[in-house]
Amino acid sequence: MADAHAERVKGIFSEIARRYDLFNALSSFGIYRSWLRRVARTAACTDADCVLDVAGGTGDVAFALCEACPPASIELTDFTPEMLEVAAERITAGANLGVPCGLNVVDAHNLPYGDEEFTVVTCAYGLRNFSDRRRAMREAARVLAPGGRYVVLEFGTPPNAVWRALYRFYLTHMIPFIGGVVTGDRSGFDYLRDSIKAFPPQDAIAQELCDAGFSQVEYKNCTGGIVAVYAAVK
Ligand SMILES: C[S@@+](CC[C@H](N)C(=O)[O-])C[C@H]1O[C@@H](n2cnc3c(N)ncnc32)[C@H](O)[C@@H]1O
C-alpha cells in the first residue's frame, strides 16, 4: 500500500530494525516476554497448525510459538525487509528450534496467499501501524481456514484510572527518550507514542474483529491493560 502513512512507518522500522529488540526489552523492563507467552498460550498451536505471522518484524511472536507450542510451519512476514533481515539472522542462530519458517516481505493489507491457507494468524503490534486495520483484519479472516484462530497482541487502555495516568506519563515522557537513546532516532518513537495513544480501547477493537467476520472474540488484559491479547475464531 503506497500511501504516505505506510511509507513513513516502513521508514521508521527500517531505521530502527537493528535496535528494535533491545528497545523492546528495555522499554518494557523485560515484561514483553510474559506478553509473548500469553500470545503463545492463546494461539495454543499443535503440530497440525500452519501459522501466518503478519507484521512479524524480527520474529518475536514466531519464535515464542516455536518454543511454547511448535506448529507444523510458520510464514513470518512483514513489509519492512530490514526487520525480516534480523529475523533471518535469528533463524540462522536457531531461534526457530527446527520449525520450518518461511520469510516473506508482505503487506498486511494484501496478503499474497490463497483463501483458507492457514489455521492460525498472529499479529503483534501491527494493527496500530496499519493504514487500514479493518482491511487487514478481513485479509486475516480470508486466509484462515474455517475454525482458524486470529491472535492479536496490541497496546491497550488500562481500565484503572490511576494506572492509566501513570502509564500515560511513562508513554509520553519515557518512550521517546528511551527510543532516542537506544536507536538515535527519537522521532520514530514520537510516532510510536502517538500511535499507542490514538489506538482505540479494547472493546472497540473487539467489535471491529466481530465486524470483520470473526466469532468468539475475546481479549485478556496483561499488566493492567497496558497490552491486550485478542483471540478470534473464523
Ligand atoms: C512494532 S513492530 C512489531 C513487530 C513484531 N510483531 C513484534 O512483536 O515485535 C510493527 C511491525 O509492523 C510492520 N508493519 C507496519 N505496517 C505494515 C503493513 N502494512 N504490512 C506489514 N507489516 C507492517 C512494521 O514493519 C514493523 O515490523
**Separation CA 177–CA 215 (nearest Å):** 40
**Separation CA 17–CA 26 (nearest Å):** 15
* Amino acid letter, 115: D
Closest CA to 170 of 141, 149, 197, 139: 197
- Identify the CATH number of the domain in which residue 147 sits: 3.40.50.150
The residue range of the domain holding 151 is 4-156+200-233
- Residue 104, SS3? strand
13 lies in some domain = yes
Q: Give the nearest ligand 1 atom to 108 CA.
A: 20
CB of 227 closer than 8 Å to CB of 154: yes
Render each residue's pLDDT in the chain as its tens digit; 234 residues.
Answer: 458 999 999 999 998 899 888 888 888 888 999 999 999 999 999 999 999 999 999 999 999 999 999 999 999 999 999 999 999 999 999 999 999 999 999 999 999 999 999 999 999 999 999 999 999 999 999 999 999 999 999 999 999 999 999 999 988 888 888 888 887 878 888 888 899 989 999 999 999 999 999 999 999 999 999 999 999 999
Q: How far is CA 163 from each of CA 12, 148, 157, 175, 224, rounded to the nearest angstrom?
A: 29, 35, 10, 16, 7
The DSSP element (H or E) to which 176 belongs, if any, is helix 175-183
64 is an annotated ligand-binding site residue: no
The residue whose CB lies within 8 Å of the most ligand 1 atoms, and thus the one to mutate among 79, 107, 134, 138, is 79
The residue whose CB lies within 8 Å of the most ligand 1 atoms, and thus the one to mutate among 1, 5, 12, 13, is 13
Number of domain units in the chain: 1
176 lies in some domain = no
pLDDT at 146: 98
Sheet order of strands, 101-105 included: 101-105, 73-78, 50-54, 118-124, 144-155, 227-233, 215-222
From the centroid of its chain, how far is CA 145? 20
The DSSP element (H or E) to which 116 belongs, if any, is none
